[in-house]
Amino acid sequence: MTEKETLLSIEDLRLYFRTTQGIVQAVDSVDLKLGVNEAMVILGESGCGKTSLSRAVLRLLPNNVDTYSGSIYLEGENTMEMADEAFRRQIRWFKMSLVPQAAMNALNPVLKVGDQVAEPLIVHHRAEKEDARNQAAWMFEKVGVPVDFLDRYAFELSGGMRQRVALAMALITLPPLVFLDEPTSALDVLTQANIFNVLKEIKQELAVSFILITHDIATSSELADRVAVMYAGQIVEVNTARSFFTDPLHPYAKLLMASVPKLKVEQEPTFITGQPPSLINPPSGCRFADRCPSAFDRCSEEPPVFLVDGQQVRCWLYRAKGVRA
Amino acid sequence: MNDAALDEVKAAPTKKPAAALSAVNRILRYSLVRIVMLFITVVIVIYLCVLVANMGGYVDEIRRGSIREEVSVAIFADQSPDIKGLTSAQKKELIEGRVALEVKRLGLDKPFIIRSFIFLKDAMTLNLGFAEQMVSDSGSKSVKLILLERLPPTLVLWGAANLLLFFLTLFIGLYLSRRYGSLLDRITLALAPTSSAPGWFYGLFLILIFAAVLKVLPFGGMVDAPPPESKLMYALSLGKHLILPVSAVIIANVFLGAYNQRTFFLIYSQEDYVEMAKAKGLTDREIERKYVLRPTLPTIITQFALTIITLWTGAPILETIFNWPGLGRALYRAIGLYDTPVIVGSQVIYAYLLAFTVFLLDFIYALVDPRVRVGAGGRKA
């Protein structure tokens, strides 16, 4: 973190939704920093607020938003203070882009994929149609899609090809930051591996930063420089990939890693009992306490973030070893 | 079918002659099957219409009865000496003879089932024949002339009202779908039940307010009497007479229509690709045009085509209230007079228009939606 320049800095980001049952605290006071040309994986189980976090940063909000506050500094500029139109012109697909969860539905069924990939260049760089298409062809080559697919429609492509097209679309304007929202969860293992290889190459060649949102620990380890773990709308641990995959800090992260099956190890994968708490009126104190094997009386208080060897962890167990952030 | 279709998809970019030829073959075969199917549908529809318009043959009874009555009255009222001198038995014989002659002249001596097929044949060949009671303003009994004479007023009124309504509801619906849950959206929703009352109901109030009380607009009719000489003045006068009936139609339908369209667009606005378009930084206008309207174009075109052809039927009560000389009123009168040739004639043309539109729509779908290919089964993807 120290040697890399900061690209994105999220401070106290909150995103609450109104529902008929009450207020859902999908993203609750999240702090996160990301360096230039860095890949961060955000791990967590379903419903922990991973996707909401990316939506909050990208400002893709549904109608029932209750609270949307905090600061998001992107290349030093607070995007939360921008008006919608300025955000559209200066940030959307210019500084940040998105590879969505289901590329199947992310492509317009009645427009040629080539035109959809080239579109952001025409919108943001006022490129001529011809130049934009040439750029799209170049990007197709980069992500491994045959160039003559430019004139095809989404329904004429396989799932893997669509995902690559979505990737080409996200990279076409060469934004410094790309969100990957479970980009391979609908694909077979071979295609997953292919796409992760493409991602690694692109990260080296084009110097982009990735935020990869996933629950797939095994494949994410391919790409990750750093790992953030989300639990019940909060970030509970931020660690380097190297130390996270061998020795995670937070009890939840430990259990998460223990649940991954490993080759050549006798140890059976374990599972975490219970369910994440409801994000409507979440428990006070540590949100993981109910499921935590090492819970003790202090856990009824809200744990602060402790710094342990420069890594952040939100757990009372580290009150002695770490320093309060 | 599916494998063949897939092969063609692969072949399409290279445009092999063989693929092109098989595409032509496929389209021709499909068109032929489709035309036969639609023709059968039209035959059934028109035959049903013939049966209904004739009340399953009962109209013949009514007409035989009225012929007998007319002939009897004519004979008994006849004051000429050679008829007045006849005995009542002779008169009766004379009546029977004349009735038989008249019945034969009108073809009523044949059983209805045979006559119904003659009706059907004439209708299918657009040989609409002559009205029994109704007369066109120019004095002709030709059904074709009666209908053609009434067509322009109906086209003007319903063309103006329906086109305005169609585009109004389309754009209001699109606007509301992008801002659903807003105050305007909730107001439209709340007002949607007002459409349960028909246009003529609101027409009554409009006439009362603007014609009777405020005296700013005419009560009804199509132009001032006498009709203005110059074309410009005629058009202005026509426009003035259009305001109330068109407003009545729009008031009666706009809220429910906008609500329908809004819900329709709302479903399509929640597609992932619409959100992607927003993330890509497209303007709202571009999102609406390329990511909402464009994918829903087939449905919108269908609605539009059906709107256009329903113009043919007019609306009897609204036209009556506004004293508008349109097809709706002609049809209403024809029903009252048991004038079956006029009723059947009007329906035949509607059936043909509908069949033709449905046939055409298949090809339009294939043009506007790459997923649809003529004769290649249903949608893919």
Q: Got the DSSP string for A254-298?
A: HHHHHTS--TT--PPPP---S-PPPSBSPPSS-TTGGG-TT--GG
Asked if residues B299 and B173 have their Cβ atoms less than 8 Å apart, the reply is no
Q: How confident is the model at residue B10 (pLDDT cuts 50, 70, 90)?
A: very low
Residue-wise pLDDT tens digits, A86-123? 999 889 998 999 998 877 788 998 999 999 999 999 98
The DSSP code for B181 is T
* Range with lowest mean pLDDT among A214-218, A314-318, B288-292: A214-218
Residues on chain B touching A148 (C-beta within 8 angstroms): 13
Mean pLDDT computed over B299-314: 83
Is residue B296 in some structural domain? yes
So what's the ipTM on this one? Answer: 0.87
Q: Which of A210, A215, A208 is nearest to A226 (CA)?
A: A210
Mean pLDDT computed over A298-309: 89
- Position B376 scores a pLDDT of 64
- Position A313 scores a pLDDT of 92
The DSSP code for A316 is G
- Position B1 scores a pLDDT of 39
Is residue B230 in some structural domain? yes
Give Cα B173 distance to the centre of its chain.
Answer: 24
The domain in which residue B217 lies consists of 143-336
Mean pLDDT computed over B282-288: 91
Q: How far is it between the farthest Cα atoms of chain B?
A: 100
Residues on chain B touching A88 (C-beta within 8 angstroms): 281, 283
Q: Which of B70-79, B227-236, B303-312 has the highest mean pLDDT?
A: B227-236
The CATH number of whichever domain residue B163 belongs to comes to 1.10.3720.10
- Position A117 scores a pLDDT of 92
Is residue B265 in some structural domain? yes
**Least CB-CB distance to A98: which of B279, B368, B371?**
B279
- Interface A–B counts its CB contacts (< 8 A) at 77
The DSSP code for B290 is I
Is residue B150 in some structural domain? yes
Question: Taking CB atoms and an 8 Å limit, are A92 and B281 in contact across chains?
Answer: yes
The tokens describing B294, both together, are 């464009």
Is residue B377 in some structural domain? no
Mean pLDDT computed over A180-209: 87
Domains plus CATH for chain A? Answer: 6-95+175-324 (3.40.50.300)
Total domains in chain B come to 1
- Position B40 scores a pLDDT of 93
Is residue B40 in some structural domain? no
Whole-angstrom distance, CA of residue A279 vs CA of residue A27: 9
Asked if residues A173 and A138 have their Cβ atoms less than 8 Å apart, the reply is no
A123 touches chain B (CB under 8 A): yes
Mean pLDDT of chain A: 88
Is the confidence at residue B295, as pLDDT, over 80? yes
- Position B164 scores a pLDDT of 93
- Position B334 scores a pLDDT of 87
Portion of chain B with pLDDT greater than 70, in percent: 94
Is residue B303 in some structural domain? yes
Question: Which of the pair, A76 or B13, is modelled with greater confidence?
Answer: A76
Is residue B312 in some structural domain? yes
